[in-house]
Structures are given as C-alpha cells and as structure tokens.
Amino acid sequence: MPSVPKRPSGHVFRVERARGAVWYAKYRLPDGRQLQKKLGPAWTGRGRPPADYFTKRIAEDWLRDTLDEARRGTLAGMVRTGATFEDAAEEFMRYCEHDRALKPSTIRGYRSVVDAYLVPEFGERKLESITSAEVEAWRASLLDGRSGKPLSNATRNRLLVLLHGVFRRAVKVWGLPMNPVSGVERQRVRSSGDIEVFSPEEVWALVRAAASEQDGAIYLTAAFTGLRRGELIALRWRDVDFTGQILRVRASYAGARLTSPKSGKVRSVPLAPPVAQVLARLAERPIATGDDDLVFLGDAGSYLDGSALRRRYIEALERAGLRQLRFHDLRHTFGTRMISHADIRRVQEWMGHADVQTTMKYLHYAPRGDEAALVAEAFGTESPEANQPPSASPARI
C-alpha cells in the first residue's frame, strides 16, 4: 500500500556559539525526509538587521515560505531526478535536432550557447537543486568570453530563453516539479529599429567587384529578391521561371543539410529583369543547366561553401570601398526598397516572414510625404506672421 504524503512541518531554533549565536531551521518534507539548514548569524542589536542576519521572526518567515513551497511541490530538491543539468542539456539538444528537426544553423547556435555558457555554470549540478535565485545571479554575472565585458541585455535574454527550454524539456522527461527559469524576468531591451542597407549604386558596385560572374549574380539576386544565403545556395534551375518572371523558393542549404525555407513554406518572389539577365548568362555555361541542377555551383557541381562565399563577399566589399555590411543586409536592402512600392502583406510573402510584425520593421523606410501635408493642414498652411503687414521694426510694449 503506497505511503500517504505527510504534511510538511518544522521549527526554528537558535544555537549559541563561541563566535556568536546562529539560527537554524529543521523541517520534514511530505516524503518523510527530515532536513536541517543553517540560516545565518543571529542579530542581537537594535533596528533593522544587516543583510544575511536573522531574527527569530525572519527565520520563521523563511521556514514558512519553504514549507509553502513544499506543500505546492515547487521546493527545490523535493524530487530526486537522478539527472544533472548536463544530462538535461544533452537531452534538449537531442530533442531539438531529432524530434523537432530544427535547422543545422539553429542547432549550431544552441550548441555554442550550451557549451560556452550553460554547462560551465550548471553542468554537474543536480537538476532539482537549481533555483530561480541562482539563475538570476548567473544572468547578472554574464560576461563576454572574448572581451570580458558584460553581455548586452538582448544577449542575456537569448541565453535565458535557451536555459528555459532546457528546463522545460526536463520537466517533461524527469518530472521536475517546476521550471526555475519561469520566475526570472527578462531584462528590458531598447531597440533603435535601425537597419543598415545598401543603396542601389552600392549594390551594383559590389556586383562589379565580385571575384567571379557567379558571385556577382549571387549578390545581385540576394539584393533584388531578398533570398537568404541558404536559399540562394539551394536554388535550382527548375525554380527559375523566366517566362513567368518569378523565382520559387523551395529549400535552404546550411550546415551540410538541405531543409525547407525558414518559414517552412514554399514561396514565389518576383524575378526582376536585371536578375533574369545575369541568370540567363549563367544558364549559357556548358554544364549543369538541367532542371535539377544548382543555379550557383560549388566544387564538382555540389553546393557552394557558405563560409567561403562569405569570405569572398567581404573581399568584394573591400575592393569596392564599401561599408562592411553583412551578407544578410542584402536581404534587408530588398525589404527596405520594396516597402515603398508594395503593400506590407506582399512584402511579407516575398520575404517569407511567418509574422507580419517582422516585416513591419521596414515600414519607417516607406516615404510619407502625405503625412507632412496632413500635419500642415491640421495646423493651417500659414504662420501668424503671414497674415500681418510687414513693419520696419517690432512693436514695443
């Protein structure tokens, strides 16, 4: 017959020591385990006690809060999972890679965070022993591994989200009673919303500085279609519809794996005449022009090396004397140019954004001359001085 959980109970007591009195708490958990914890030195002076000192009332408050957590089943250490945080982190990575089949680039990003920030801090700790207070202290202490400077709030929040995911998976797998990250608030992040993009002249300068005709075609296609680098690498000739003047985005290639586009959906993007012309020239090459062949060829007809493409792109920027913008900023260039010529829903569809909120970051690039006229109309088109006759000197009072 299973044992019935007992109601948690306990008491506090004071022990006199040579170096001063100390408060302790002794309590029983619902599973029958008895625990004793040293709370801290006793405060014998007047007024409010310093931090980490205890009066009888403070000790009793600590015990009451602890017993309340034990009754709710949220007290750290109540459940014995037998797993360490490192076990949970590996299970989370397995789950993301195999069960959820996340993209290789996402998996690489997760792995770098787990190895650099999470496991070094919590790796050998038992899952059930990690508390929200410890997570908050860890977040506050985070430093950049290279510069030694504090991480930005945005980066701290990203690490916190990943840590939350590890514990959320642990709750399901090991029956952890609570996710200690759930009680930790994200830090405020102020974003300027500014995006760095190329001007049309800079795009053409980049194309002219490309190391090869194919690289130039890639840069131009990226800027004129908004395709991501992995989508460009995965593009095949069957996806190029010269007659219908569209490109179909069916796949993405990164981390030696072919996957669906980031949104998970096939989409179509307008094929502008300048892009059609450079792609038509590529189609005149003597090999690899069949429907299933790649548009942008790597070694021996295989996929392009994304890292090598990025290096050649940086070199082309230097040759052209351009700012060191990211390859991804060619995609932003497309978004900022198109938002002033098409409605936001069409731009969202062309760029493959799952959420229109992502597309809205381009809205402040759309021209709004009519809004200036609205303000002028609201306040009147003439200034007060315009309705008065000119005078040689101002009136005196």
Looking at residue 372, what is its pLDDT?
A: 75
Task: Return the structure tokens found at 36.
Answer: 């004793």
Decide if 98 is catalytic.
no
* 287/281 Cα distance (integer angstroms): 13
Of the given ranges (50-59, 286-295, 386-395), which has the lowest mean pLDDT? 386-395
Pair 240, 351: CB distance under 8 Å: no
Instruction: Return d(Cα 53, Cα 62) in angstroms, integer.
Output: 12
Task: Spot the catalytic one: 38, 328, 364, 368.
Answer: 328
Evaluate if residue 301 carries a pLDDT over 90: no
Q: Is 311 in the active site?
A: no
Catalytic residue status for 172: no
Q: How far apart are CA 257 and CA 105, in angstroms?
A: 9
For the chain, how far is it from start to end, CA to CA, in angstroms? 101
Q: Which of 23-32, 48-57, 137-146 has the highest mean pLDDT?
A: 48-57
The answer to whether the CB of 44 falls within 8 A of the CB of 16 is no
Residues 6+ apart with CB under 8 A from 350: 225, 226, 267, 268, 269, 270, 334, 338, 342
Sign of CA dihedral 127, 128, 134, 136: positive
Residue closest to 272 by CA, chosen among 341, 365, 363: 341
Q: Catalytic residue at 341?
A: no
Query: In what order do the strands lie in the sheet containing 9-15?
Result: 9-15, 22-28, 34-41
Q: How large is the average pLDDT for residues 46-60?
A: 92
Among the listed residues 139, 156, 331, 332, the single catalytic one is 331
| Residues recorded for the chain | 397
Q: Is residue 170 exposed (0-12), middle (13-18) or buried (19+ Cβ within 10 Å)?
A: buried
How far is it, in rounded angstroms, from Cα 7 to Cα 30?
A: 6
Q: For this structure, is 362 an active site residue?
A: yes
Please say if 228 is a catalytic residue.
yes
DSSP for residue 61? H
pLDDT at 393: 46
| pLDDT band, very low/low/confident/very high, at 189 (cuts 50, 70, 90) | confident
Note the CATH number of domain 200-365. 1.10.443.10
Residues 348-377 have a mean pLDDT of 85
19 exposure class (CB count in 10 Å sphere: 0-12, 13-18, 19+): exposed
**List 156, 169, 229, 353, catalytic entry:** 353
Q: What is the rounded average pLDDT of the residues 194-223? A: 96
The catalytic residue among 103, 156, 169, 228 is: 228
| DSSP 3-state percent helix, strand, coil across the chain (nearest 5) | 45, 10, 40
Domain extents in the chain:
9-72, 85-174, 200-365
The alpha carbon of residue 250 and the mean position of all alpha carbons in its chain are separated, in whole angstroms, by 24
At residue 388, the pLDDT reads 55
- Would you give the distance in Å from CA 370 to the centre of its chain? 36
The rounded distance, in Å, linking the Cα atoms of 226 and 332 is 7
Please name which of 156, 226, 151 lies closest in space to residue 185, comparing C-alpha atoms: 156
Catalytic residue among 103, 169, 262, 267: 262
Which of 110, 219, 313, 362 is catalytic? The answer is 362
Per-residue confidence band for 375, with pLDDT thresholds at 50, 70 and 90? confident
Q: Could you give the CA distance from residue 353 to residue 335 in angstroms, rounded to a whole number?
A: 11
